[in-house]
Chains A and B, each alone.
Chain A
Amino acid sequence: MTHPPYLSPAYRSSVLRAPSRPPVVLRADPDAVELTGPVFGHDEVGELDADLTRHHAGEPIGERIIVTGRILDAAGRPVPHTLIEVWQANAAGRYAHQRDQHPAPLDPNFTGAGRCVTDEQGRYRFVSIKPGAYPWRNHHNAWRPAHIHFSVFGTAFTQRLVTQMYFPGDPLFPFDPIMQSIPDPAARERLVAHFDLDVTEPEWALGYRFDVVLGRTPTEEP
């Protein structure tokens, strides 16, 4: 079981929002619209969109990072030319979102939203700053481990995936009901990026590697 169940009571917001009935499984229809997906042009995405440290006049505060990896299909083949969107809190753990009430400072030089389209080999690369952990009101003394939200398209609407990337060695993992909603520890581990000295740039930024594997489409062999 890769994905979390919809109902995961420790994550309180799931209680009234999780569907109570199992989904209807559709396998047979080769004409289903969902077997295709939107194509995004490379020129629809700005060159600087993937560098979250360069969206303002000055440099954001925080630990500069490079996050790179590949988008793969269920058979391990690269998915080229697909859109990836990311968003995250700043180094202090605050989102540039109106409704984020965490009393940590906003950074005028950091919005924390970026996007890019994968290259021929399914690769992507973002430059950013390491997000801070932040508190939330799910339970007493609840803190989210530092994470970057990822939104990935793939080639079929059935592959559409929104997830979160975590950083290795975070002590908050065992206390986070969102990460722990994934029942299989090995599957949870797949959301943790790997520190990579080869991605790290001397005198500049720490490097992390994070691959995303999309689900099998109904037309692929199991």
Chain B
Amino acid sequence: MNAVQPTPSQTVGPFFGYALPYDQGPDLVAEGHPGAITVAGRVLDGAGEPVPDAMLELWLGETGTRRALDRTGEGVSGFGRCPTGADGSYRFRTARPAGPYLAMLVFARGLLRSVATRVYLQDGPDPLLDTLDPARRATLVAEPVGEGTYRFDVRLQGEGETVFLEF
């Protein structure tokens, strides 16, 4: 029997905005980084309304050489954090991940526990995608909307609800 029990989650609440976001948090690479891409979109609730008090985190799989918090150093950071704006929008500048997807966590007022999802930059054979019906599968595939720019909306609930993951 384990001597320890896990600590329960609680919501990030509405008032994290002065504490958790940090300078260049959404920029996993510096401006002008060769091959940089933009992943942007909106977080929407079950009524289709924007969620203005959410925070997203992105993880590429390697810590990298550009540091996560103070953003000094060259190259790529594996971690980014972006709060949503009044219109529910967010925007990351990142390098392409080694694999087909980026890992994403979403926190918000009203979410008692964060939700985990993946941003696939292209559709293709994949152990997760292949288990999903086409409509559900489509919620995990970012839409290319221009040179190096991908659109990925997170729908927390209802029609087109994003596929969330548990590990």
Q: Which residues of A contact B (CB under 8 A)?
A: 2-6, 8, 11, 13-21, 23-29, 31-41, 44-45, 72, 74-76, 83, 85-87, 89, 95-100, 111-113, 149, 151, 157-158, 160-164, 178-179, 181-182, 186-188, 190-191, 211-218
Contacts and interface: CB of A to CB of B under 8 A. Distances in A.
Interface residues of B, number: 66
Interface in B32-84: 45-47, 49, 51, 57, 59-63, 67-70, 78-79
B122 interface: no
Interface string B93-120: 0000101011101011111111110000
A1 B20 CA distance: 28
B128 interface: yes
Contacts of A149: 10, 12-13, 16, 19
Contacts of B162: 19
B48 to A, nearest CB: 10
A13 B69 contact: no
Contact of B111 (A18, A26, A182, A191): A18
B4 interface: yes
A199 B15 CA distance: 29
B55 to A, nearest CB: 9
Given A34-B103, A181-B112, A44 B69 contact: yes
Contacts of A113: 18-19
Contacts of B108: 17
B81 to A, nearest CB: 10
B6 A191 contact: no
A14 B5 contact: no
Contacts of B102: 33
Which 3 pairs show the lowest CB-CB distances between chains A and B?
A13-B110, A87-B19, A17-B110
B10 A4 contact: yes
A3 B158 CA distance: 22
B9 A161 contact: yes
Contact of A36 (B16, B61, B161, B163): B61
Contacts of B3: 76
A16 B47 contact: yes
B17 interface: yes
Contact of A74 (B4, B14, B59, B116): B4
Nearest to B60: A33
22 contacts: A2-B6, A3-B8, A8-B112, A16-B47, A17-B109, A26-B165, A38-B63, A38-B79, A87-B19, A98-B18, A99-B17, A149-B10, A149-B16, A149-B19, A157-B103, A161-B7, A163-B7, A163-B9, A164-B10, A179-B10, A182-B10, A190-B8
